[in-house]
Amino acid sequence: MSNFSWPTAFRLLFDRCIENYRTGNSDFSSYYSEEDLVFLGSIGYKPREFFDFVEDYCDESVPTPEDALLIAAVRRDYLDVVLKGQKSSSIVPNGSLPEKDSELGGHRWLPRIITKARAKLAGELDPETMFSCGGDRAFLSSHDIHAADFLRAVWAAGDDDQKIVDYIER
């Protein structure tokens, strides 16, 4: 896959998966060819993770394919720049995420979405957990922050949670 054309490949795959889903096929493992799986791996995506964006878009009209592409771009860049292309074999289990009502800096949900964002960037998010799920979208919308921008802010903050609090309060 060309670095120049990966966004086009992403969108074509997204559109093909939409068509599959809308025919009633919810077996996402049947959506992908070997070439698709290689492509997803090259941008740091797992098949289920990609499907979650397709499913939510088909069922809720969000996140849009453009949103999904922007989020994928941040993950892809993190994989390339920070991880030097080395994929992690670790998984952050859903049960280890902060509770939905946990708070940081007086902001409910923030500890949970920070943990999910860090796991998303590192490619360690449990396949059953989605970054930019409905709860994440509600939190980000209430602060007028795009999910991809939040990922970049988490990346820039490193381990300093206060920088993230400052970012959402700007």
Q: Are residues 3 and 67 in the same domain?
A: yes
Confidence tier at 42 by pLDDT (50, 70, 90): very high
Query: How many domains is the chain partitioned into structurally?
Result: 2
What is the pLDDT at residue 3?
75
Mean pLDDT of 123-132: 95
Rg (the chain; Cα; Å): 16
Whether residue 75 contacts residue 123, with contact meaning beta carbons closer than 8 Å, is answered with yes
Mean pLDDT of 131-154: 98
Q: Domain of 113? A: 88-170
Mean pLDDT of 86-108: 96
Instruction: Give Dmax over CA atoms of the chain in angstroms.
Output: 46
CA-wise closest residue to 16 among 44, 45, 51, 66: 51
Which residues, including other chains, have CB under 8 Å from residue 97's CB and lie 6 or more apart? 112, 115, 116, 129
Q: Are residues 97 and 19 in the same domain?
A: no
Mean pLDDT of 49-74: 97
pTM exceeds 0.85: yes
Q: Are residues 14 and 92 in the same domain?
A: no
